[in-house]
Structure 1
């Protein structure tokens, strides 16, 4: 059982262009978690507790998510800008090299950082990641529409978040609690700066360059995918496997897009086996 000492501490790290909100918990070698849509509270709440008994866990909201806000007027909001901003976050909290875990779009940003600054990442775990030049599902394409997308974000509700999460889970009973959904929905509705950043990231990020540069990844990589993923089909795994040198891959039966919460036992078995031995070298 995870003890009270592993409860995350919420903190802020400022860089030249971004004010990052992140959670920190545990002690040991550093592992940085980069979440998909909604921020770490929707994506990695349970994983923080799982890993904090052995690692210092940093669960960081990337630009456009959670409590993080873009400060710089010239910030590009595209995949390169978000990935490099995460490198700036590492500098701000004093981390030169880390193991990194990314889910969905967070996996795409972590992957892009591994391509652009390979010396920063010692081990990379990707959970149903973005990073390929394929169309998004309609729910996210909707946000790119100039007027409709803005209205959809402005009137985000716990019910609309619940719809999107149901699609992300093969086991709906393992979804985040309603109070978390209400909190996230309220932040999107009532904080114009969050809606602005979220929409700009959604409208700016494309993954063509990330897919083109897959061969540049130099660290060990583990990719896990659920066979019941309704956001990114597991068949996409082959496109990563054929391009990333030495990548390890596993498809988890019975898991949806949020595979680490859908099937935590399977996910953590692979994750821990991949992370544990090499962490002594960090």
Structure 2
């Protein structure tokens, strides 16, 4: 199966009509999978590194009953977005790209939900552009409040230096600790590792002062079995630096079993936290 076939196969499992959008700016073309009522409150979903936007299949369809959902393929990662223009090299470049995406969608203010690297993009964007963010949900965020564990870095390093399907699937199987990860999710991630893409922008963790001053009270999902970082330390840091945050522990989750394997808990947490309707645009 090709990468494009695997992408379409997972996208077909959204179980709602999906509109595939192409937005062009100075960075290239950004691919967005949209669903839900056109006049619903807007929500942007950002995937983790190497995951691509179809991985939200178990979350997007259920949010689409209330919200207009936009799942974005990152311009600096595998997927259907193509970086044919200016290359994003800094967090500021990524924020400019994301602002362009929102402008292209005709959205002034939006709720963000990001996983892993996508959570880091969402958080740093909320810090840089607070007026454009209505709500913020971080799904097992990396390099936001805490750094990655050394054993995880060492295990992931070969797949970062010389990406391959085998290396990608190996680290996902290791980190998910025998949990029943969806075979199509695993296959798409493995094939994505071998797709040409622009190198991802290196993360820079926000300062404590920036986290204390965060305007959006985030909803933070913590994977208690994560091998990527210390879950207890993450929760403590969130509660200490952003006391307005809501922390939701996912006792059985690992970093890479999210978001699909624990979609019930993620969706329930989002709907509870966002019970008061988000403003429509």
What range is the shorter-chain TM-score in? 0.7 to 0.9
8 Å CA contact 2:20–2:33 kept in 1: the answer is yes
8 Å CA contact 2:59–2:266 kept in 1: the answer is no
- RMSD (CA atoms): 2.7
Distance in 2 between the 1:25 and 1:44 partners?
Answer: 12
Q: Which residue of 1 aligns with 2:97?
A: 85
Count of residues in correspondence between the two structures: 261
Distance in 1 between the 2:192 and 2:122 partners?
Answer: 25
Where does structure 2 lack aligned partners over 5 or more consecutive residues? 1-12
Structure 1 pair 134–88 and aligned structure 2 pair: CA distance change class (3 A): same
Question: SS in structure 1 opposite 2:22?
Answer: strand
Distance in 1 between the 2:88 and 2:23 partners?
Answer: 20
Structure 1 pair 4–69 and aligned structure 2 pair: CA distance change class (3 A): closer
Q: Which residue of 2 aligns with 1:278?
A: 277
**Shift in Å at residue 243 of structure 1?**
1.7
Q: Which residue of 2 aligns with 1:35?
A: 47
My pick for the range that moved more, 101-110 or 79-88, is: 79-88
CA offset digits 1:8-66 (Å, max 9, x no partner):
22221112223111100111211100110224346312111121111111000112221
Q: Which has the higher helix share?
A: 1
Distance in 1 between the 2:42 and 2:245 partners?
Answer: 22
Q: Which residue of 2 aligns with 1:13?
A: 23
Counterpart check, 1:228 vs 2:225: yes
The one of 204, 208, 224 equivalent to 2:205 is: 208
Distance in 1 between the 2:207 and 2:63 partners?
Answer: 28
Structure 1 pair 18–116 and aligned structure 2 pair: CA distance change class (3 A): farther
Counterpart check, 1:256 vs 2:254: yes
Q: Which residue of 2 aligns with 1:72?
A: 85
**Shift in Å at residue 181 of structure 1?**
4.2
Where does structure 1 lack aligned partners over 5 or more consecutive residues? none
- Tell me the TM-score normalised to structure 1 length: 0.81
**Shift in Å at residue 5 of structure 1?**
7.3
